[in-house]
Structure 1
């Protein structure tokens, strides 16, 4: 099965560290202000997922959502969540660690795109 979102080992290790401090976590990537389209990590339940947010999957035990408009831009790519030195916004729980999550991507192959088309659209909202 083709995954729409993956996580690097380094980012998964950061998620584990953060989970130890904050409990269950989730990710959301919007196209909004502040960090633009950076993936933001929140304690589960502290970010309200909207009915148009698209659930791309799960990474490191965390649900990963993307805003509907951003999904339309990124639907042809696999998102790869990484962590790099530097500070993002104060809204994401990794900010005090001196790192920030970052989205890398790669274009799906024709075969992967066909498999995703057969699977149908990913779910929207918190369901």
Structure 2
């Protein structure tokens, strides 16, 4: 079985893709400076509260049912950050535009922003199918 994730880019079913706020981009630049290249995984699990989890690239195994939503460019020469979503969540959110934001609070689980006093949050806007 192929472990490569499905790529949403260019898929006509993907309405809005993924974006980020300026605050999220600034935090990503800081975290990339501390941890090296990063990636996001958006799951629908109960334990992480459906929060976008940010990991050093290679620390999270992307599965064959995960969907690659796109890459975020935090700017200032920082490495792009790929964003994946579980296949099950993708089916629920396929007609939304996802925006990764940053808000005060404690990050979830093993997400690298957890000790900063801020956490990433996914906001969604429904797009026409």
TM-score by length of 2: 0.81
1:72-91 superposed matches below 5 A: 72-91=91-110
Please report the RMSD computed on the Cα atoms of aligned residues, expressed in angstroms. 1.4
Between the aligned partners of 1:33 and 1:47, the Cα distance in structure 2 is: 18
Q: Per-residue displacement from partner, 1:29-68 (whole Å, max 9, x unpaired)?
A: 1111322211000000000000000000011310000000
2:100 pairs with 1:68: no
State the 4+ residue runs in structure 1 displaced beyond 2 angstroms.
Answer: none
- Provide structure 1 residue ranges, at least 5 long, that are not aligned to the other structure: 114-127
Higher helix share: 1
Rounded Cα–Cα distance in structure 2 between residues aligned with 1:40 and 1:104: 14
TM-score by length of 1: 0.82
Q: Determine if the alignment matches structure 1 residue 103 to structure 2 residue 122.
A: yes
